[in-house]
Structure 1
């Protein structure tokens, strides 16, 4: 961060007192956000009593700095933020007797800050200050409030002042009285050297945090997450996840939950989805719909494309109203007499048979997939009409995709299909019964 101050001070010789006003620009950079503010202050410095007051005004367009979403237990916390606080402080101080050209002062004061909807705080402050020969200022303060608690701070300011003597051009009137003080100087008579005292105020932007809210669906029901991570055998919280996808799917809450692998991994198991379940990996950027719109899941987006996805070594069986996203499957995938499912952003590589088999499906969707088979077809679509888009078949020992329609009329579209390296036909469509097949190919 940084600060820029512009100040004006006036020394009243009759009263032996300095009056000042100042304005400042502050910038504070955190790990996540940058904040800006304007600060204004007034002061009155004397031989016995000092007074000052400050006002801090953050940029109203940058009061909230967003923080990443966060998991806690089974919940997703969204709308988290760092918040710049608007506030001010006052302090009144007394000058202590000068000892060996060292001045010291003690101050008492108070402050108030508003958190723009995250609460406010007020507190008291005690401060001690020592100044040595106009060269060093040492500052120790203790303050207490209901938000930040009791804190102690220490500050040190150093200044080097140098006279530019001939041959440099000399000022018509010396400025020595503003920067230097003789040991015999009597502050009861003249405090003009304090015209160059440091401006005392809070130089960083005071920040608090908004803890956020629990993510819900658009109807207000909290989203429930069951986390899975290799090496654990827990209850599905982010702190104590399940160790296998099978264990998470056996949870009574699985049909209405999002099963998530926040740290990826390799899962050696057959995965049988249950109706309504959503199974997501952290590979692609994963979003969920919440009360404030779509929100990205923490840790997701670790992979670009379909290479390096978390892996499943085993077969995957789809279920009604299920979602499966972000895995590299070494095994087969089947959907039999189920509907309204979604499979996306995954690889399916079956070394022992057809990669994807779909039978008796009226509604379902496969998109953004890479498919291969070392012992069969890339996709086998029997008496079904799923949505198929953005699918690449890289190899197969039989057809790239085989479509069989028997007794039921079907409408099927292949959008952005790429088929290569297959031993049979790229697209093999067959009508063997009374049903009709309306097949369209786009970008294929």
Structure 2
């Protein structure tokens, strides 16, 4: 089914098209008969239902030939020839036949209604003589149908685009008349976007001979498609035409006369209230200010009047007319429009018309419009005398605005919209839901207005993704509790923040109060749970415990005096975040993670872990143990780990132990690791385990054993990067200790550190059995003032060490700056370059080969060496690549060196 808009256009277009088709067909018939008159020497006098009468003054012979010619041309014998030549005594009479309903008379061949009697002495009708008798000015006329095309430029009053129109004019009266009903139709096509509009007009005109004027009126129906809207309009008008003309037209839109074409909403100001709790939800009042911008098109009702007259003659039949007038339009939502217009209309010929108009008003401005049109046949019948110039105007087109006048309107509506919304969890798309607890005070069901008085009641009704929100109230102690899966338990003590759809990361109301509720038992956590903001002290077990769980967060708790671990996690997986907690005085480790399966990503950040381990044999501050196939990534960052000690004297600040086939990546950075009972960082790999360790930007001081110990046993392998640590100092044994045994292997990069004032060696390297290591010590700002040696290396059995010592400042150590020692059948390949090695009382570069088959291949270049000692007198061999001449050596002792020199690159360095 077509929409109303399309149906209206279709009907209008069909009516106008039918009108134009009828005019074309009828005009073609008239043209055929008219052409006979133009092609012959005879004048057609009269057409009746059964006879066509023609007249000529040809001689008899030629008259007969003319008749035969007409018979051939028309393929009929219907002509009666009346000859005025005196020589002809008998007219040629052709058989009468019946004609089609349309006669030539009906198509404008005007013949005065005069029937002169033939002279008695002549057998020929004296019609010719009668015709020459003076005939009064005609008071009737025959108007022909016609079609035409017209172009009108734009913009104009109420439209913007130029348009082309196909026009038709159809008289509804047959024969000659001075009272003419007629139909007039147009189809308009805009040139800008090919939009179709239409006009259909029914008019009536009458000629008054006394006044010598034509009076007329009409009713019309118009349609217009603007591309955004469709409008319909009725029109009426009256006119009086003569030596001067006056017209008045009225336009009355019907149907939906005002249509919205566009609506946009612009939000100018959004204000949000502070979120507040309502029931079990967090609500916020949102006040939105803005504007609604609407655009409309409105068909305007109105009228126009004009008066004008002929101001010039163009040729024999053409004229130029000028007009001036006023127009008025109005529509709901539009300002009244009162404007003036002037126009010139030129008709150089009966088939051509030209026009120019100028209009001005406050809404549409000043518009100059040009038009040109052509029609066929012309508007005037043939053979009309000069006295009939008013009468023939019965057939003129009606002068009116053929477009529906449309005004474009804009409305701006300001609004203020207020609504209450519940803050939404971005992970679920649902509102965050809270179970409220006010310890020792609440007696209700868990809403904000009616909280419960204990945590257990809230946990009993908590659903997945709920938050149990605890206020301390009178702060009675909370017994041990278990957090169900996917539930958070938060207190108002620290600042609590949640992610929301509406407000991003939002601080919860009432959080940050500073008082943490007290828990006197173990808090057991489940999958995807959070515990935050509690003081936890237990008399049995760990402060917080979780086993076989994943994705947990423990933050901003104060865990003190737990009987066993402060936090104990076993076989945890997924994302585990331990942040901003204080873990003190635990009987065993402060934090312990033990996994024998699965994969975990641990973030242990910004915790204070101190004074733990008093009841343990090995009570570390942080303990991570991986076994079997466990693996993961472990980020231990920005923690303060201090004063942890055990009853067995071996409590480390951080202990990492990996056994079996387990593996992991460890990033230990930005920590303060101080005054622990044993080692600052102790890393041990056994069996076939492996790992990558990045130890950066830490301050590792005053630990009672090594600052960092890296130990590999069995078949373990590892990569260790120790860099940019500002302090590895004042530790009780070595600054950095590297120990490989069995068939282990590893790569060690020690760069850009300060290693000083440790009680034994700054860097101690020891390889046993068949171990193999590649060690690079470079760009360290200071390896200084250590209790024994700056760097001390030992290889034994069949171990192999590939050692690079480059661009370091190694000075003022108590024994030697750099001591390289080889035993058994081991091999050491050493590249020592660009270092400052000074201030060692026993030597600054010391190389001693003591085994039977051991080899030390030494490449030393461009070093500054205070005291050089080379000794292979005990059975080994020291090979000097390219000698030692490129170094700056203050004192050298090579008495016990075999003096073995080897070619460049013999030591395997580029």
| TM-score, length basis structure 1 | 0.53
Q: CA deviation at 1:65?
A: 5.7
Match of 1:443 among 642, 659, 670: 670
Quote the RMSD (CA, aligned, Å). 2.8
Deviations 1:355-394 (A, max 9, x none): 1111111222111111113421101111174321112102
Deviations 1:171-215 (A, max 9, x none): xxxxxxxxxxxxxxxxxxxxxxxxxxxxxxxxxxxxxxx563222
The residue number in structure 2 matching 1:401 is 622
Q: Take 1:361 and 1:406, find their aligned partners in 2: how far apart are those partners?
A: 13
Q: Take 1:63 and 1:407, find their aligned partners in 2: how far apart are those partners?
A: 60
For the 8 Å contact 2:288–2:416, the answer to whether it is kept is: no
1:57-96 matches, cutoff 5 A = 66-79=272-285
The residue number in structure 2 matching 1:147 is none
For the 8 Å contact 1:353–1:373, the answer to whether it is kept is: no
The residue number in structure 2 matching 1:429 is 656
1:349-368 matches, cutoff 5 A = 349-363=560-574, 364-368=576-580
SS at match of 1:117: strand
Q: CA deviation at 1:238?
A: 0.9
The answer to whether 1:388 aligns with 2:604 is yes
- The list of structure 1 runs, each at least 4 consecutive aligned residues, that deviate by more than 4 angstroms after superposition, is 61-66, 80-83
Match of 1:223 among 429, 432, 438: 432
The residue number in structure 2 matching 1:149 is none
The answer to whether 1:254 aligns with 2:466 is no
- Specify every segment of 5 or more residues in structure 1 that has no aligned partner in the other structure, as ranges: 1-60, 84-113, 119-209
The answer to whether 1:301 aligns with 2:523 is no
- Specify every segment of 5 or more residues in structure 2 that has no aligned partner in the other structure, as ranges: 1-266, 290-412, 646-650, 672-910
Q: Take 2:555 and 2:488, find their aligned partners in 1: how far apart are those partners?
A: 12
The residue number in structure 1 matching 2:523 is 316
> Given the superposition, is the C-alpha separation of residues 225 and 378 from structure 1 closer, same or farther in structure 2, using an over 3 Å criterion?
same
For the 8 Å contact 1:248–1:254, the answer to whether it is kept is: no
- Aligned residue pair count: 260
For the 8 Å contact 1:217–1:223, the answer to whether it is kept is: yes
Deviations 1:20-76 (A, max 9, x none): xxxxxxxxxxxxxxxxxxxxxxxxxxxxxxxxxxxxxxxxx9976643211111111
For the 8 Å contact 2:604–2:636, the answer to whether it is kept is: yes
Match of 1:370 among 573, 582, 587: 582
SS at match of 1:357: strand
Q: CA deviation at 1:311?
A: 2.5
215-224 vs 416-425, which deviates more?
215-224
Q: Take 2:415 and 2:507, find their aligned partners in 1: how far apart are those partners?
A: 25
For the 8 Å contact 1:69–1:80, the answer to whether it is kept is: no
For the 8 Å contact 1:381–1:403, the answer to whether it is kept is: yes
> Given the superposition, is the C-alpha separation of residues 62 and 319 from structure 1 closer, same or farther in structure 2, using an over 3 Å criterion?
same
The answer to whether 1:341 aligns with 2:563 is no
Q: Take 2:620 and 2:497, find their aligned partners in 1: how far apart are those partners?
A: 35
Q: Take 1:235 and 1:405, find their aligned partners in 2: how far apart are those partners?
A: 44
For the 8 Å contact 1:226–1:254, the answer to whether it is kept is: no
Match of 1:291 among 501, 508, 522: 501
SS at match of 1:250: helix
1:150-299 matches, cutoff 5 A = 210=418, 212-218=420-426, 220-231=429-440, 232-251=442-461, 253-262=462-471, 265-294=475-504, 295-299=506-510
Q: Take 2:594 and 2:476, find their aligned partners in 1: how far apart are those partners?
A: 31
SS at match of 1:254: coil
Deviations 1:121-159 (A, max 9, x none): xxxxxxxxxxxxxxxxxxxxxxxxxxxxxxxxxxxxxxx
Q: Take 1:434 and 1:213, find their aligned partners in 2: how far apart are those partners?
A: 53
SS at match of 1:246: helix
Q: Which has the larger radius of gyration?
A: 2
For the 8 Å contact 1:245–1:267, the answer to whether it is kept is: no
Q: CA deviation at 1:220?
A: 4.1
> Given the superposition, is the C-alpha separation of residues 284 and 115 from structure 1 closer, same or farther in structure 2, using an over 3 Å criterion?
farther
Q: Take 1:115 and 1:247, find their aligned partners in 2: how far apart are those partners?
A: 49
Q: CA deviation at 1:437?
A: 3.8
Instruction: Tell me: higher relative CO, structure 1 or 2? Use CA pairs within 8 A at least 6 residues apart.
Output: 1
SS at match of 1:334: strand
> Given the superposition, is the C-alpha separation of residues 345 and 81 from structure 1 closer, same or farther in structure 2, using an over 3 Å criterion?
farther
Deviations 1:201-254 (A, max 9, x none): xxxxxxxxx563222233542221100111223211111112221211111x43
Q: Take 1:347 and 1:357, find their aligned partners in 2: how far apart are those partners?
A: 15
Q: CA deviation at 1:309?
A: 2.6
Q: Take 1:371 and 1:425, find their aligned partners in 2: how far apart are those partners?
A: 15
The answer to whether 1:414 aligns with 2:636 is yes
> Given the superposition, is the C-alpha separation of residues 117 and 262 from structure 1 closer, same or farther in structure 2, using an over 3 Å criterion?
farther
Q: CA deviation at 1:82?
A: 11
Q: CA deviation at 1:345?
A: 1.7
Q: Take 1:75 and 1:268, find their aligned partners in 2: how far apart are those partners?
A: 25
For the 8 Å contact 1:217–1:290, the answer to whether it is kept is: yes
Deviations 1:75-102 (A, max 9, x none): 111245699xxxxxxxxxxxxxxxxxxx
Q: CA deviation at 1:290?
A: 2.7
Q: Take 2:530 and 2:463, find their aligned partners in 1: how far apart are those partners?
A: 12
Deviations 1:322-368 (A, max 9, x none): 11122222231111110011111222223311111111112221111
Q: Take 2:579 and 2:494, find their aligned partners in 1: how far apart are those partners?
A: 14
SS at match of 2:573: coil
SS at match of 2:456: helix
